[in-house]
Amino acid sequence: MNQSKVDDIEALNQWITASIKQGAIAIVTHRNGDMDTVGSACSLANIIGPSARACGIHLSTIARTMLKKTKSDFMIFDSERIAWPRNLGGVIIVDAAGPSQLGLELPQVSKCVIDHHSAGEPFDMNDGDLYINWDTNSTAEIILCWAEKYAAERIDASTRQLLLAGIVTDTGRFRHAKSEALLAAGRLASSEGFVFSEFIEEMESVELNNSQRVAIAKALTRVETLDTGRWFLSHTRAGTNEGIVARSLISAGADIALVCRRHQEYTRLTARASAKSTREGIHLGSMMEKMVERSGGEGGGHAGAAGWTGTIDETDARTGFIAILMNLQGVTE
Ligand SMILES: [Mn+2]
């Protein structure tokens, strides 16, 4: 670990120690409630102890499954009416690239932001606030580094699983993993009685109900393809579980998978790319940021996995994504 990372986790430890003296600590996840944000929040809360609580406005299916499995506590807020504890000493925001990613207003207390996204709109930082951003695959790795240095004896089986699940999902099942992520996963998995193959199998068999299975199968019958000459794009519409649909399209040979979903008045784009495409210059997160420039809304993410949400219709959104891809091809060719 380089010196700036050593300094960061020391500063984090000091921030936590100082904030506990002021009162309770809320650990806030981003609005999509993915496994990295929820795993990071819950493991941090586990380690800090009763004065900390993980909270947010939404849990993804996989995150809900892992919380149940690890018997972790998580408070789901009603975004219209947020009840912060009265004696709040500080908030820690995990895995959010900017304040709009939270879906809630932050209270006026000292804050600490822990993130690994490269772009995003900045948080308002005041005196005493702390901002940590590492170029890792996941936020879970940052939490692990802090825990190993300052609270190694408090890393229990639940914490290991929560952090490992965060790393597994944010690396796309290790397909996009940097060596630090693999090493962190190795450390988390080297525990007596822990069987990695069973863990990953259980994570992959997130229980779907029959209507979800039908919806996924239908989305797969509607797939259309586009060969741009350089990249093979498979795209479709789905009503639910867009991530699973997109991943299936990558497994079936697509370089890039795009899934559109219309929900209430919003269109959601979910994209995944193969490791080969990201190596050759595809960065879906930047492409989704270009979608924001084109059509407003909110978007961003990682090289191999990203999303965008806005109010234009599905056809317009899909056309926009394809135009950005074609444009990129012109530049990188
Ligand atoms: Mn993340």
For residue 207, what pLDDT is reported? 67
Q: What is the pTM of this model?
A: 0.77
- Number of C-beta neighbours around residue 192 at 10 A: 5
Strands in the chain per DSSP E: 24-28, 52-56, 75-76, 88-94, 111-115, 130-133, 224-227, 232-237, 256-263, 266-273, 298-301, 305-310
Average pLDDT, the chain: 93
Q: Is 195 exposed, middle or buried (0-12, 13-18, 19+ CB in 10 A)?
A: exposed
| CA of residue 155 to ligand 1 center, whole Å | 20
| CA of residue 173 to ligand 1 center, whole Å | 13
pLDDT tens digit sequence for 34-83: 999 999 999 999 999 999 999 999 998 889 999 999 999 999 998 788 88
| CA of residue 210 to ligand 1 center, whole Å | 29
| CA of residue 166 to ligand 1 center, whole Å | 7
Complete domains list, the chain, with CATH:
3-204 (3.90.1640.10), 211-332 (3.10.310.30)
pLDDT tens digit sequence for 302-330: 889 999 999 999 999 999 999 999 998 76
For residue 85, what pLDDT is reported? 84
For residue 118, what pLDDT is reported? 81
For residue 332, what pLDDT is reported? 53
Instruction: Tell me what percent of the residues of the chain surpass a pLDDT of 70.
Output: 98
| CA of residue 207 to ligand 1 center, whole Å | 22
pLDDT tens digit sequence for 240-298: 889 889 999 999 999 999 999 998 899 999 999 998 999 999 999 999 999 999 999 99
For residue 34, what pLDDT is reported? 93
Element (H, E) at 189: helix 179-189
Confidence of residue 331 (pLDDT cuts 50, 70, 90): low
Confidence of residue 94 (pLDDT cuts 50, 70, 90): very high
pLDDT tens digit sequence for 168-197: 999 988 988 999 999 999 999 998 889 999
Helix (H, G, I), strand (E, B) or coil at 186: helix
For residue 302, what pLDDT is reported? 86
Cα atoms found within 13 Å of the Cα of residue 196, Cβ hemisphere only: 11
For residue 201, what pLDDT is reported? 86
| CA of residue 313 to ligand 1 center, whole Å | 28
| CA of residue 227 to ligand 1 center, whole Å | 30
Q: Which residue would you say has higher pLDDT here, 209 or 36?
A: 36
Residues 6+ apart with CB under 8 A from 227: 233
| CA of residue 221 to ligand 1 center, whole Å | 31
Confidence of residue 210 (pLDDT cuts 50, 70, 90): confident
Confidence of residue 213 (pLDDT cuts 50, 70, 90): confident
| CA of residue 55 to ligand 1 center, whole Å | 16
Nearest-Å Rg of the Cα atoms of the chain is 20
Query: How many residues are listed for the chain in this entry?
Result: 333
pLDDT at 236 over 80: yes
